[in-house]
């Protein structure tokens, strides 16, 4: 999407956006990102948490942003209280959730025909026993279908899966951070046909 970007082969599997604490009490903003602390994780990071928006010269930009904005807040939990633990645990949760194979097992795969959002939700809930939050790009001018953009899983502080339903009156601090290109992601509509593209055009 970005003209200055050299992303040749976008991954054809779900990757990580981030691991975000919901309520950010104390965040140590002076705790700067240091890539050498995660050098053992780099091959997994490049594979499962790639930065597809910055050129290859600056591929750590995304991780730096995620650490400084979210990791420094997550670090109030002992299990996430270093850069190595934060990124390592996010990779581990990603592997445990294994969204790629769950969707395939449910017969939900990239296609040029549309899905019903309720069918996707039901499949995920059946598989995980909790309801994730599915976010979409709304239909473009003259189109009728929304496009799946992101699937968010919620965890307790003990890092057990839980439902992602927002409590009444609770705003979602994450929403502001989610921008894919210039279009906003928002919670998918249950009634619109849903496109799960094999290649993002």
Residues 56-69 have pLDDT tens digits of: 666 799 999 999 99
* Predicted pLDDT at 22: 84
Closest CA to 195 of 104, 108, 97: 108
pLDDT band for 173, please (50, 70, 90 cuts). very low
**What CATH number corresponds to the domain at position 131?**
3.90.730.10
Q: Are residues 42 and 14 in the same domain?
A: yes
DSSP, collapsed to helix, strand or coil, labels residue 60 as: coil
* Predicted pLDDT at 176: 44
Instruction: Please check whether residue 84 lies inside any domain of the structure.
Output: yes
Mean pLDDT across 107-130: 95
Number of domains in the chain: 2
Instruction: Please check whether residue 103 lies inside any domain of the structure.
Output: no
Instruction: Please check whether residue 80 lies inside any domain of the structure.
Output: yes
Instruction: Please check whether residue 104 lies inside any domain of the structure.
Output: no
Torsion of CA 119, 120, 122, 128, to 10 degrees: 160
* Predicted pLDDT at 68: 94
* Predicted pLDDT at 59: 78
Q: Are residues 136 and 186 in the same domain?
A: yes
- Which is more confident, 110 or 58? 110
User: Within 10 Å of residue 137's Cβ, how many Cβ atoms?
Assistant: 20
Instruction: Please check whether residue 45 lies inside any domain of the structure.
Output: yes
Q: Is the pLDDT of residue 46 over 60?
A: yes
Q: Which structural domain range is residue 133 located in?
A: 110-196
Mean pLDDT across 7-35: 85
pLDDT band for 11, please (50, 70, 90 cuts). confident
Q: Which residues does the annotation mark as catalytic?
A: 17, 66, 70
Closest CA to 71 of 137, 13, 27: 27
Q: Is the pLDDT of residue 3 over 90?
A: no
DSSP, collapsed to helix, strand or coil, labels residue 154 as: strand
* Predicted pLDDT at 37: 97
Mean pLDDT across 95-116: 94
Percentage of the chain exceeding pLDDT 70: 82
Lowest model confidence (mean pLDDT) among 55-64, 148-157, 182-191: 55-64
């Amino acid at each position: 999407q970005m003209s200055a970007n050299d992303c040749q082969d976008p991954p054809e599997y779900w990757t990580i956006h981030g691991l975000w604490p919901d309520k950010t009490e104390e965040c140590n903003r002076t705790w700067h990102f240091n890539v050498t602390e995660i050098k053992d994780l780099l091959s997994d990071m490049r594979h499962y948490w790639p930065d597809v928006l910055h050129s290859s010269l600056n591929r750590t930009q995304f991780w730096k942003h995620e650490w400084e904005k979210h990791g420094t807040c997550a670090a109030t939990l002992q299990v996430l209280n270093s850069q190595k633990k934060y990124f390592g645990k996010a990779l581990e949760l990603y592997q445990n959730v294994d969204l790629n194979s769950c969707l395939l097992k449910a017969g939900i795969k990239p296609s040029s025909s549309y899905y019903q959002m309720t069918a996707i939700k039901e499949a995920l809930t059946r598989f995980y026993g909790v309801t994730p939050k599915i976010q979409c790009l709304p239909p473009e001018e003259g189109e009728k279908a929304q496009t799946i953009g992101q699937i968010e899983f919620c965890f307790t502080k003990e890092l057990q899966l839980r439902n992602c339903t927002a409590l009444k009156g609770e705003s979602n601090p994450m929403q502001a951070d989610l921008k894919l290109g210039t279009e906003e992601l928002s919670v998918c509509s249950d009634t619109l046909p849903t496109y799960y593209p094999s290649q993002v055009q």
